[in-house]
Amino acid sequence: MSPLLVAEGLGRDFAARGWFTRPRPVRAVADVSLSVARGEAIGLVGESGSGKSTLGRLLLGMLAPTSGRVLVDGQDLARLLPSDLRRLRRRMQLVFQDPYSSLDPRRRVGAQIGDGIAIHRLVPAAEREARVAALLAMVGLEAAHGARYPHEFSGGQRQRIGIARALATGPDLLVADEPVSALDVSVQAQVLRLLADLRARLGLGLLFISHDLAVVRSLCDRVMVLYLGRVMEEGPAAEVLRAPHHPYTRALLSAVPSLDPQHRRQRILLAGEPPSPADPPSGCVFRTRCPWVLPACATAVPPLRPVGDGHRSACIRSDIGEAGPLVAQRLHDNTTRQHEQERAE
């Protein structure tokens, strides 16, 4: 099957404004390639600031890439006329993270769900109401809810409304940008089930953005792990989560809290925070926090290399399986100090 959406070598810089310092570009996304097939669910995972949302907006054509290109059905988004791009929007929709600010507080939710239908004149005005009612039913709400205002709903219900609005145009691809991270755990499950169900029922391509690997695992076919805008690891979800190759993926996975004492893993507590994307470390961008770092990691950017069937990782080491995190922690302290010294000089 031909993919719905293909991204090739996608990159995006933002001009950082400094008052007294020389402005340097912030590389929010660098050299990302991916493709989404119809009905496929891809999980995009990384910490805050890793470029997940920027990548989502690039793929939707909401933001112009500084390098690379996005093809939808073979058409380059950057070459489309604005009016054609607007028409294409029908096929690709976005679900926002914050269920509160993503709905217009002053309009009834039914009208907001109907916007996409009205903009693209999908059904005659007389049938619009019935269509909105059908959409509300699809996300598990009642038709009468359409006459209410957003503040009358709980977070989980608002997120359903956001999903209904995105589905109104009959999209082939849904980009869901952290759709559950603002919700209570108990409500997250409802929304995840809804997305899984819609994907199966409507054959939606799904790009699911999250910082929580546990959430991604249950929903996605493939995962892509981002750090500082670069792909660290990608592959089939089950494979990557069962046998993560890249140290960053391991750390992310070990941070997921578990209710089951038997599954409690040895936690790799990553020290510190990601470095500033305006000043990424040389070589492997993860090396300042990597418990397994080697001197060689600083010399060249490790390329994504195959480590399994459809499974690729951007780490130069293949011998990590045994090295315990404790040993690694000591190693790490040394190199952090080293990096900070380098920077101070």
Q: Using CB under 6 A as the criterion, which residues of the chain lie in contact with ligand SF4 when the complex forms?
A: 246-247, 284, 286-287, 290, 292-294, 297, 302, 315-317
Check: CB of residue 39 under 8 Å from CB of residue 205.
yes
Check: CB of residue 286 under 8 Å from CB of residue 227.
yes
Provide Rg for the chain, Cα atoms: 22
Q: How far is CA 252 from CA 56, 104, 258, 306, in A?
A: 20, 35, 13, 20
Name the residue nearer to other proteins (CB basis): 245 or 289: 289
Q: Does residue 103 bind other proteins (CB under 8 A)?
A: yes
**Burial of 101 by CB count in 10 Å (0-12 exposed, 13-18 middle, 19+ buried)?**
exposed
To the nearest whole angstrom, how small is the minimum distance from the Cβ of residue 311 to other proteins? 16
Q: How far is CA 39 from CA 86, 90, 198, 268, in A?
A: 23, 17, 10, 34
Task: Report d(CA 244, CA 234) in Å as an integer.
Answer: 10
Check: CB of residue 114 under 8 Å from CB of residue 131.
yes
Q: Which of residues 61-100 bind other proteins (CB under 8 A)?
A: 62, 86-90, 93-94, 96, 98
To the nearest whole angstrom, how small is the minimum distance from the Cβ of residue 296 to other proteins? 25
Tokens of residue 107, six digits? 């309009």
To the nearest whole angstrom, how small is the minimum distance from the Cβ of residue 105 to other proteins? 6
Residue 314: name the closest of 254, 214, 247 by CA: 247
Q: Does residue 238 bind other proteins (CB under 8 A)?
A: yes
Q: Which of 28, 30, 65, 157 binds other proteins (CB under 8 A)?
A: 157
Name the residue nearer to other proteins (CB basis): 242 or 305: 242
Check: CB of residue 28 under 8 Å from CB of residue 13.
yes
Q: Does residue 7 bind other proteins (CB under 8 A)?
A: no
Q: What angle do CA 64, 65, 66 make, to 5 degrees?
A: 120
Residue 154 interaction partner, one of other proteins, ligand SF4, none, beta carbon < 5-8 Å per kind: other proteins
Q: Does residue 333 bind other proteins (CB under 8 A)?
A: no
Q: Give the range of 21-29, 256-264, 280-288, 309-317 binding other proteins by CB under 8 A.
A: 256-264
Residue 294 interaction partner, one of other proteins, ligand SF4, none, beta carbon < 5-8 Å per kind: ligand SF4
Task: Report d(CA 232, CA 245) in Å as an integer.
Answer: 10
In one-letter notation, the amino acid at residue 266 is Q
Residue showing tokens 């510190």: 272
Q: Give the range of 18-26, 151-159, 201-209, 297-305 binding other proteins by CB under 8 A.
A: 151-159
| Interface map 179-218 toward other proteins (x if CB under 8 A) | -----xxxxxxx-xx--x--------------xxxxx-xx
To the nearest whole angstrom, how small is the minimum distance from the Cβ of residue 212 to other proteins? 5
Task: Report d(CA 259, CA 190) in Å as an integer.
Answer: 19
Name the residue nearer to ligand SF4 (CB basis): 125 or 300: 300
Q: Which of 24, 79, 264, 343 binds other proteins (CB under 8 A)?
A: 264
Residue 58 interaction partner, one of ligand SF4, other proteins, none, beta carbon < 5-8 Å per kind: none
User: How many secondary structure helices (H) and strands (E) does the chain include?
Assistant: 10, 12
Residues 6 or more apart whose CB falls under 8 angstroms from that of 22 comprise none
To the nearest whole angstrom, how small is the minimum distance from the Cβ of residue 272 to other proteins? 7
Q: Does residue 43 bind other proteins (CB under 8 A)?
A: no
Q: Which of residues 267-296 bind other proteins (CB under 8 A)?
A: 267, 269-270, 272-273
Name the residue nearer to other proteins (CB basis): 22 or 151: 151
